[in-house]
């Protein structure tokens, strides 16, 4: 039967430890129920598997088995108490079970109860005792002891002998509880009457309900008398001996005396018959000297006390032995180092675990006693956030002391070393190490390598082309570091960003979904997101901004906007007078380029038709001018067929061409240095504007004229122009005299009067100095009708630091039908006279239509109508640019030519100065 004794000792150490005590009888069959641990502890059976209900490895026993699903403890194989615990009064099996989440440890003790399954037995079936016939009544003779493996009430209780009149038994109890019998002589023996006595010696145990017995045949031989018996100094000797004493160590020197002589007085020492077998192995005695010494290995942990029974017997006939007991106490030595046994170690602890979380559970034991068995533990963890905590008897737990961070250096795993040291002399220690891995939680958001990405993408890219790769990192691991890239929704020019770019969710590669056009979209921005796959506590994400900059490509050829071809695609026609001077402005080519930067910087050139070198093209402004006079033999019916090329500076460069027919017309060139061009507008890269002559272009095809008629018309025209010129010259000379007198009195000098007025001539020569573009200001005339083709420009400046502040002003008004230029040249005014500008205005030379009154500007101010009336006498200067080449007029022409964009460099200025010097010398010769 099973005796179930459950006594629950609740030891609430942090509410996690308690103890159960079960009892089970030995020799039970397999499957015998011991107890239901889960039920007795009040555990939820349905959660045992989830909480990993299990036994500690160091406490597992082959005799017991625990059902981890139901918590039932049962016998696995037969338990033989005598084999497991031998003669120990109590026989305990320890079982440690624990659960996780949270960690709970339970200690279970199973006491194996003894049953009376072993009868007492004697070492030998026949026992012989020799007694001298001279022995007196009351003499005691020790008998061999019987042995019963059972304990408690089932152990040996008493001895019995066959009833007789000579002997009786006296049962004695040893210090360890064992019993032995002594044969007591009740009446004298007579060898001659009965030499041998035989009895049955019976050993009886205390088993219930049925006792078990063991018997032996006791033979008593009656010997002739030996008068004196050896005697020991004392019946019991007590000796203390350190454990681990080497063999041969003296335990005790015994000495027995016998007053007889001869062989009756010679004593032989030996062990008594009822000494234990283990004592016979550990000790030896010298028969002649009585030296008791160590012959085996003493171990305090095996037994702390040994009883050695010694007898002394003389060599005489019918010798009677004397007996004594030597009690050997073994002293403990610190010869056992502490033992560390880990019951459970967590494979991994979460980095989000709260302080105090149990990581490992272990026990410490030392087989030594007293101070040698007292153990102190410490944890060698360095800077690791763990500490050691005493939990239950010799049980300790390793718990977290602070927050864990797996991402810090060395934070993914810790090596913890437990050192157990006893208090012996010298102290012994033992250490064991465990590896604690820190499991990751999703506590780090992804981070991009840079917050803003500047991505340059060339326009005209192929849709679907790779453009860039963004990358983000996550300090976590596993799923918590597995990133997925995406683009956040936004609008670009009213359309979703997903129609422009896409991203590979795995590697962050960006792809263009359309071909970008720099001329439509120069840049745009959007945000990318990297989100991890973590679940605990939640997925985390990080953002970065991607700024796409579209790089311009040279994908647009220059577009020529002026001059425009005819309606039927015929080349544009420009008129060139036969008498045009070198530098005559034939046309201005204007072009635009939709590209940007170097791709839109244009260069103008003559591609074909200028084999004779009659024309030259300003590569910057696009002005087409004559390089020399038109050959006199040139057939007027053969126009010059020029092909103008406009080329940008892209790679590779793109170009456009325009065909221009330059038709020769009779008549002298009005002006060789005009700064304007056709009224078609200003092209990109060709200058911001300028002033110049506008000649009527013949867009339609002229009917061929008879050569004779052309000569007649030309001769008549020349004669008429010559007569008209003479008349105008005569009238002009009269007016110039009056004007020279007035302007010489009112100002320093006037323009265009150098040939008539000495003072003006002197000041004109004094003003022959180099001008710069910063000394010119362009303003729009208020009287000229507004026209989309007008290009007003204003520019002002001053001469060098050694001159007074002086302003030059001129005005350009371009109209599609204009054949002449409305120019105004102002003499620089001294600052001292600027305050009296209304009464003493700067002299001016104005050209323009006779029916249009130009604005006259003095020191940057437009004169009032009254002042204009006072200056009405200047109107005769309208046609002066054709007929008068005074030094002041030529200098103004140089300024106008420079400002028109022809020669921004010093070389360009030098070219113009050389041209003017040539013209001046030519006029002088005329």
How far apart CA 467 and CA 455 sit, in angstroms, is 8
Tokens coding 497: 């960003």
When pLDDT is cut at 50, 70 and 90, the band that residue 486 belongs to is very high
Residue with tokens 């240095």: 673
Residue with tokens 């122009």: 721
The per-residue pLDDT for range 660-706, each reduced to its tens digit, is: 989 988 865 444 443 333 333 333 333 333 333 333 333 333 334 45
How far apart CA 632 and CA 636 sit, in angstroms, is 10
The per-residue pLDDT for range 619-641, each reduced to its tens digit, is: 999 999 999 888 878 877 888 88
The per-residue pLDDT for range 106-153, each reduced to its tens digit, is: 888 888 988 888 899 888 889 898 888 888 899 888 888 888 888 888
pLDDT value, residue 715: 87
Least confident of 531-545, 741-755, 884-898: 884-898
How far apart CA 641 and CA 63 sit, in angstroms, is 120
pLDDT value, residue 468: 94
pLDDT value, residue 739: 60
CA distances to 189, 409, 485, 528, 531 from 525, rounded to whole Å, are 129, 37, 16, 10, 20
Residue 132 is classified by DSSP as E
The per-residue pLDDT for range 565-600, each reduced to its tens digit, is: 887 878 888 888 988 889 999 999 999 988 888 888
Residue 402 is classified by DSSP as S
Specify which residues 735 forms β-bridges with.
none
User: What is the mean predicted confidence (pLDDT) over 460-466?
Assistant: 92
The per-residue pLDDT for range 357-371, each reduced to its tens digit, is: 888 888 898 888 888
pLDDT value, residue 740: 58
Pairing of β 213-223 and β 196-205: antiparallel
pLDDT value, residue 590: 93
pLDDT value, residue 17: 45
pLDDT value, residue 197: 93
Are 146 and 202 within 8 A, CB to CB? no
pLDDT value, residue 550: 93
pLDDT value, residue 857: 38
Residue with tokens 């039970």: 28
The per-residue pLDDT for range 258-286, each reduced to its tens digit, is: 888 788 888 999 998 878 888 999 999 99
Residue predicted with more confidence, 310 or 2: 310
When pLDDT is cut at 50, 70 and 90, the band that residue 167 belongs to is very high
Neighbours of 284 (CB within 10 A): 16
pLDDT value, residue 106: 83
When pLDDT is cut at 50, 70 and 90, the band that residue 529 belongs to is very high
User: N- to C-terminal Cα distance for the chain?
Assistant: 156
User: What is the mean predicted confidence (pLDDT) over 343-358?
Assistant: 85
Residue 638 is classified by DSSP as S
Least confident of 31-35, 84-88, 530-534: 84-88
How far apart CA 566 and CA 217 sit, in angstroms, is 156
Q: At residue 175, does pLDDT exceed 80?
A: no
pLDDT value, residue 491: 94
CA nearest neighbour of 591 among 620, 553, 615: 620
User: What is the mean predicted confidence (pLDDT) over 544-552?
Assistant: 94
pLDDT value, residue 260: 80
When pLDDT is cut at 50, 70 and 90, the band that residue 808 belongs to is very low
Highest mean pLDDT among 21-30, 92-101, 869-878, 897-906 belongs to 21-30
Specify the pTM. 0.47
Residue predicted with more confidence, 513 or 224: 513
Neighbours of 153 (CB within 10 A): 12
pLDDT value, residue 153: 83
Q: Please give the angle made by the CA atoms of 32, 33 and 37, to the nearest 5 degrees.
A: 150
Tokens coding 743: 């302007």
Residue predicted with more confidence, 737 or 577: 577
When pLDDT is cut at 50, 70 and 90, the band that residue 514 belongs to is very high
């Amino acid at each position: 039967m099973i005796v179930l004794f459950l006594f629950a000792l609740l030891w609430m150490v942090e509410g996690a430890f308690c103890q159960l005590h079960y009892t089970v009888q030995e020799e039970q069959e397999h499957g015998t129920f011991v107890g239901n641990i889960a039920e007795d502890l009040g555990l939820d059976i349905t959660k045992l598997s989830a909480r990993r209900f299990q036994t500690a490895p160091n406490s597992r026993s082959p005799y017991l088995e625990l059902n981890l699903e139901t918590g039932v403890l049962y016998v696995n194989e037969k338990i033989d108490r005598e084999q497991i615990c031998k003669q120990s009064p109590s026989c305990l099996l320890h079982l440690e079970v624990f659960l996780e989440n949270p960690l709970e440890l339970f200690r279970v003790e199973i006491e194996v109860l003894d049953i009376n399954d072993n009868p007492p037995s004697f070492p030998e079936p026949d026992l012989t005792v020799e007694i001298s016939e001279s022995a007196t009544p009351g003499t005691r003779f020790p008998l061999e002891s019987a042995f019963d493996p059972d304990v408690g009430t089932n152990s040996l209780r008493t001895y019995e002998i066959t009833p007789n009149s000579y002997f009786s038994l006296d049962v004695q109890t040893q210090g360890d509880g064992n019993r032995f019998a002594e044969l007591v002589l009740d009446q004298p023996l007579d060898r001659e009457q009965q030499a041998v006595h035989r009895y049955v010696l019976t050993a009886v145990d205390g088993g219930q309900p049925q006792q078990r017995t063991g018997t032996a045949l006791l033979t008593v031989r009656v010997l002739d008398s030996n008068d004196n018996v050896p005697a020991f100094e004392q019946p019991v000797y007590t000796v203390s001996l350190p454990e681990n004493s080497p063999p041969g160590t003296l335990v005790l020197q015994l000495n027995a005396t016998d007053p007889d002589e001869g062989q009756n007085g010679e004593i032989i020492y030996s062990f008594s018959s009822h000494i234990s077998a283990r004592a016979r192995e550990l000790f030896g005695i010298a028969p002649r000297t009585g030296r008791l010494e160590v012959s085996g290995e003493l171990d305090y942990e095996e037994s702390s006390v040994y009883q050695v029974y010694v007898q002394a017997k003389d060599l005489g006939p019918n010798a009677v032995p004397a007996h004594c007991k030597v009690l050997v106490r073994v002293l403990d030595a610190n010869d056992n180092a502490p033992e560390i046994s880990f019951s459970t170690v967590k494979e991994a602890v979460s980095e989000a675990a709260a302080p105090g979380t149990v990581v490992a559970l272990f026990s410490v034991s030392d087989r030594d006693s007293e101070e040698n068995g007292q153990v102190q533990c410490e944890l060698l963890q360095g800077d690791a956030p763990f500490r050691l905590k005493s939990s239950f008897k010799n049980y300790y737990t390793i718990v977290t002391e602070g927050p864990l961070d797996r991402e810090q250096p060395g934070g993914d795993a810790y090596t913890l070393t437990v050192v157990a040291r006893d208090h012996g002399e010298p102290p012994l220690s033992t250490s064991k190490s465990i590896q604690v891995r820190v499991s990751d939680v999703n506590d780090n958001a992804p981070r991009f390598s840079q917050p803003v990405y500047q991505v340059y993408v060339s326009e005209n890219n192929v849709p679907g082309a790779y453009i860039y790769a963004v990358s983000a990192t996550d300090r976590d691991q596993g799923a918590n570091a597995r990133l997925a890239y995406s683009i956040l929704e936004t609008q670009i020019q009213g359309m979703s960003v997903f129609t422009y770019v896409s991203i590979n969710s795995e590697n962050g590669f960006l792809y263009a979904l359309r071909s970008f056009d720099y001329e439509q979209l120069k840049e745009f921005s959007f945000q990318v997101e990297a989100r991890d796959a973590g679940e605990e506590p939640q997925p985390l994400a990080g953002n970065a901004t991607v700024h796409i900059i579209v790089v311009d490509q040279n994908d647009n050829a220059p577009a020529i906007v002026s001059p425009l071809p005819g309606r039927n695609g015929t080349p544009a026609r420009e008129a060139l007078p036969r008498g045009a001077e070198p530098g005559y402005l034939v046309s201005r080519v204007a072009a635009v380029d939709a590209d940007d930067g170097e791709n839109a910087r244009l260069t103008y050139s003559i591609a074909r038709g200028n084999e004779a070198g009659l024309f030259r093209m300003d590569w910057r402004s696009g002005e087409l001018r004559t390089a020399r006079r038109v050959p006199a033999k040139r057939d007027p019916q053969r126009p010059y067929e020029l092909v103008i090329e406009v080329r940008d500076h892209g790679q590779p460069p793109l170009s456009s061409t325009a065909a221009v027919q330059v038709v020769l017309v009779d008549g002298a060139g009005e002006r060789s240095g005009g700064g304007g061009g056709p009224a078609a507008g200003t092209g990109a890269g060709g200058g911001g504007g300028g002033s110049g002559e506008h000649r009527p272009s013949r867009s339609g095809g002229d009917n061929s004229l008879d050569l004779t008629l052309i000569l007649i018309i030309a001769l008549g025209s020349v004669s008429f122009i010559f007569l008209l010129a003479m008349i105008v010259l005569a009238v002009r000379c009269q007016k110039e005299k009056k004007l020279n007198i007035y302007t010489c009195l009112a100002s320093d000098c006037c323009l265009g009067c150098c040939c008539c007025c000495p003072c003006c001539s002197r000041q004109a020569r004094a003003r022959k100095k180099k001008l710069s573009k910063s000394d010119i200001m362009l303003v729009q005339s208020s009287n000229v009708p507004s026209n989309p083709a007008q290009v007003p420009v204003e520019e002002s400046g001053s001469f060098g630091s050694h001159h007074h502040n002086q302003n030059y002003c001129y005005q350009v008004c371009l109209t599609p039908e204009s054949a002449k230029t409305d120019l105004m040249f102002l003499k620089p005014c001294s600052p001292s006279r600027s305050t009296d500008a209304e009464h003493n205005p700067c002299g001016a030379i104005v050209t323009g239509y006779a029916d249009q009154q130009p604005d006259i500007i003095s020191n940057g101010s437009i004169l009032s109508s009254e002042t204009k009336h006072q200056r009405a006498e200047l109107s005769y200067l309208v046609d002066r640019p054709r007929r008068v080449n005074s030094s002041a007029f030529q200098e103004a022409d140089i300024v106008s030519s420079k400002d028109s964009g022809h020669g921004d460099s010093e070389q360009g200025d030098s070219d113009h100065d050389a041209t003017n010097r040539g013209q001046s010398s030519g006029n002088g010769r005329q």
